[in-house]
Amino acid sequence: MSTATEQQHLAGPLSAAVANLCQRLQPQVSARTAAGFREVLRRLSAPLQVAVAGRIKSGKSTLVNALIGRRVAPTDVGECTRLVTRFQYGTVDRVELVFFDGTKQVLPFDAGGMIPKDLEVDFDKVSHLEAYLTNAVLRDLTVIDTPGLGSLDLASVKRTEQLLGAAKHSAEDGEEVEAPENDDLDDTSRNAVAGAEAVLYVVTQGVRADDQQALAAFTAATASREAGPVNAIAVLNKADTITPESVSGSNGDVWTAARLLAEKQASTLKPRVADVIPVIGLIAESAESGGFTSADADALRQLSGLDDAIWETMLMSADIFTTWDCDVPTGTRVRLLETLDLYGIRRAVDALRAEPDLTAGALRRKLLDASGLAGVRTRLDAVFRARADGIKAAAALASVTALAHASGDPGERQRVHDAIEVLLAKPEAHQLRLLEALTLVTSGAVNMPEDLAEEVLRVGSSAEVGEQLGMKGRPHNELTAYALERAGWWRSFASFGATPAQSRVAHVIHRAYFLIWQQLKAQ
Ligand SMILES: Nc1nc2c(ncn2[C@@H]2O[C@H](COP(=O)(O)OP(=O)(O)O)[C@@H](O)[C@H]2O)c(=O)[nH]1
Ligand SMILES: [Mg+2]
């Protein structure tokens, strides 16, 4: 049962409404379904669960470190890079190994404060890692690092797919549900409540066709909820490794090339993700996590004094950079490569040449700016944090529905169904209906002509009125008139032009425009 303190952790009114529904239904359902509802309630009062997914070596762990602001997730190779790790807020830094049998064991950090790369226990018995960190970023987001899809390592793929809810469950498989009170849950029900609520998808240059499949397979919270612009964003990582010459219109500039490429990928991945944002995870990690030191700054300062022709030659490749005869020790240069790679090194030296008195701290901030991390943070805030309430509530409702379906009791299913209908009919649940409509349309569950689907996407995936209307920056009276016109159009489409499924969506869009119009009129 939920207490007053638990209620305080709910993300907002929609989560509270779904939590209420679970509590009211609990006495009316089987013990097994009730256990599932308890798990749904627990998840509703936890921070939004964001999985970082993508191919192996796309830089997921590097980006996780950058976002948390601490080098804690092991990168590259090692056993622990093949495990799912959940980074959540805690009052004391601690890492726990969770075994398939439910037991846990504390795992000490290594000398550098990181999760060790390798384990001293039987790897095959480990389900996943739980990392509790004091970092403020984790207060309202739980970040889940995954080993990655598309690797040759089948076990890692399986662990990732399981977390994303894409895999069919079999009894021998491990669970993401860790609370002991779930012991009475069957596999289907566990699967319904496990998994992430939102996904940050990491791609690199050249999204492949099966990346889109992987994204399509992502289901938030239940097998019936697919990724869409409501709960998924993508980053184009390793922007520094893009050869601008390979992207027409880039004028030889890496960031212009990255932005153009990200736009192209956005149209490939649409409507699965809200956005594709270019970023250089490696530089972001080094600048944000203390990986970039004043010794590094000194070495870069020394390099900035080199003759131009020599410097350009050294930057031609990592090999030349490290083996060229030069006063900066080879070990230091290898380290610079590992922290910044050639592009970051070039940017840093350019900055030092322009401003020779730049302090190490100021240089670090310049590198952070060059990494594009701020753009990722802004989108995370706009897409995930600002809408955590709706995302969590929608995921919880999907879990509740799946639990009722799995019960096999038609009476129970009907009771749950009716309760959800009552909840959705309430005016204050409009936002939830809008998210649902958006998901139905973008996943193709409800077919819409392309222009209407675009419009649903626009209205549903922004919180800013100008953007919702597709009329950013236009005068107030134009916005008001347009909102009213579209409200009327969708109402008649709902009544006359649509299939029953389309009509349901159309009613929601009509209501959305009507509310926008009311809001504009009141201003
Ligand atoms: N040049 C460059 N290398 C990166 C970037 N992000 C990650 N890497 C490197 O890519 C390798 C794989 O990164 P990792 O985070 O372990 O990938 P994961 O398997 O997706 O978790 C590591 O050697 C990272 O240093 C980036 O933005 N630029
Ligand atoms: Mg990794």
* 3-class secondary structure per residue, 133-180: ECCHHHHCEEEEECCCECCCCHHHHHHHHHHHCCCCCCCCCCCCCCCH
Strand 85-89 relative to strand 198-203: parallel, antiparallel, unpaired? Answer: unpaired
Residue 394 located in a structural domain? no
Question: Is residue 75 within 6 Å of ligand 1 at its C-beta?
Answer: yes
DSSP per-residue string spanning 174-207: --S---GGGGG--HHHHHHH-S-SEEEEEE-SS-
Q: Is the pLDDT of residue 301 over 90?
A: yes
Regarding whether 247 and 333 lie in a shared domain, the answer is no
DSSP bridge pairs for 51: 144, 199
Amino acid at the residue 281? G
Regarding whether 437 and 296 lie in a shared domain, the answer is no
Tell me 270's DSSP state. T
Regarding whether 314 and 273 lie in a shared domain, the answer is no
Residue 264: give its domain's CATH number: 3.40.50
Strand 48-54 relative to strand 198-203: parallel, antiparallel, unpaired? Answer: parallel
Regarding whether 175 and 28 lie in a shared domain, the answer is yes
Regarding whether 195 and 91 lie in a shared domain, the answer is yes
The contacts of residue 109 (CB under 8 Å, 6+ apart) are: 72, 93, 95, 115, 116
Gap between the Cα atoms of 90 and 46, Å rounded: 12
Q: Name the residue with the closest Cα to ligand 1, atom 10.
A: 59
Instruction: Give residue-wise pLDDT tens across range 396-446.
Output: 888 888 888 888 899 999 999 999 999 988 888 888 888 888 878 877 788
Regarding whether 74 and 21 lie in a shared domain, the answer is yes
Question: Is residue 56 within 6 Å of ligand 1 at its C-beta?
Answer: yes
| Total of domains in the chain | 3
Question: Is residue 272 within 6 Å of ligand 1 at its C-beta?
Answer: no
Gap between the Cα atoms of 248 and 506, Å rounded: 40
pLDDT at 83: 83
Instruction: Give residue-wise pLDDT tens across range 446-496.
Output: 899 989 998 998 898 777 899 899 999 999 999 999 999 999 999 999 998
Regarding whether 149 and 71 lie in a shared domain, the answer is yes
Q: Name the residue with the closest Cα to ligand 1, atom 2.
A: 238
Angle between helices 430-442 and 450-460 (to 10 degrees): 140
Regarding whether 342 and 316 lie in a shared domain, the answer is yes
Distance of CA 490 from the midpoint of ligand 1 (Å): 47
Regarding whether 326 and 268 lie in a shared domain, the answer is no
Residue 419 located in a structural domain? no
Burial 397-420 (b: 16+ CB within 10 A, else e): bbbbbbbbbbbeeeebbeebeebb
Question: Is residue 76 within 6 Å of ligand 1 at its C-beta?
Answer: yes
Amino acid at the residue 345? I
What pLDDT band is residue 153 in, cutting at 50, 70 and 90?
low
Distance of CA 148 from the midpoint of ligand 2 (Å): 7
Q: Which-ligand-closest: CA of 286?
A: 1
Better-scored residue on pLDDT, 199 or 368: 368
Q: What percent of the chain has pLDDT over 70?
A: 86
Residue 400 located in a structural domain? no
Instruction: Give residue-wise pLDDT tens across range 74-119.
Output: 888 777 778 888 999 999 999 999 888 889 999 989 988 899 888 8
CA angle 446, 13, 382 (to 5 degrees): 65
The answer to whether 55 and 212 have CB atoms below 8 angstroms apart is: no
Residue 358 located in a structural domain? yes
Give the position of tokens 């649509």: 498
Gap between the Cα atoms of 516 and 514, Å rounded: 5
Residue 408 located in a structural domain? no
Question: Is residue 60 within 6 Å of ligand 1 at its C-beta?
Answer: yes
pTM of the model: 0.84
pLDDT at 218: 54
Q: Across all residues in the chain, what is the average pLDDT?
A: 85
Residue 404 located in a structural domain? no
Q: Which-ligand-closest: CA of 59?
A: 1
Residue 478 located in a structural domain? yes
What pLDDT band is residue 2 in, cutting at 50, 70 and 90?
very low
Regarding whether 172 and 49 lie in a shared domain, the answer is yes
Give the position of tokens 């899809």: 149
Instruction: Give residue-wise pLDDT tens across range 218-252.
Output: 543 333 456 677 788 899 999 999 999 989 999 99
Last residue of a domain, one of 348, 382, 416: 382
Q: Name the residue with the closest Cα to ligand 1, atom 28.
A: 238
Residue 286 located in a structural domain? no
Question: Is residue 371 within 6 Å of ligand 1 at its C-beta?
Answer: no
Regarding whether 316 and 180 lie in a shared domain, the answer is no
The answer to whether 190 and 406 have CB atoms below 8 angstroms apart is: no
CA angle 61, 66, 69 (to 5 degrees): 120
The answer to whether 184 and 172 have CB atoms below 8 angstroms apart is: no
The answer to whether 194 and 144 have CB atoms below 8 angstroms apart is: no
Regarding whether 253 and 210 lie in a shared domain, the answer is yes
Structure tokens, 222: 């239940």
Q: Name the residue with the closest Cα to ligand 1, atom 25.
A: 282
Angle between helices 13-25 and 388-407 (to 10 degrees): 20
Question: Is residue 85 within 6 Å of ligand 1 at its C-beta?
Answer: no
Question: Is residue 204 within 6 Å of ligand 1 at its C-beta?
Answer: no
Domain of 299, in residue numbers: 291-371
Gap between the Cα atoms of 522 and 481, Å rounded: 13
- The alpha-carbon radius of gyration of the chain (Å, integer) is 25
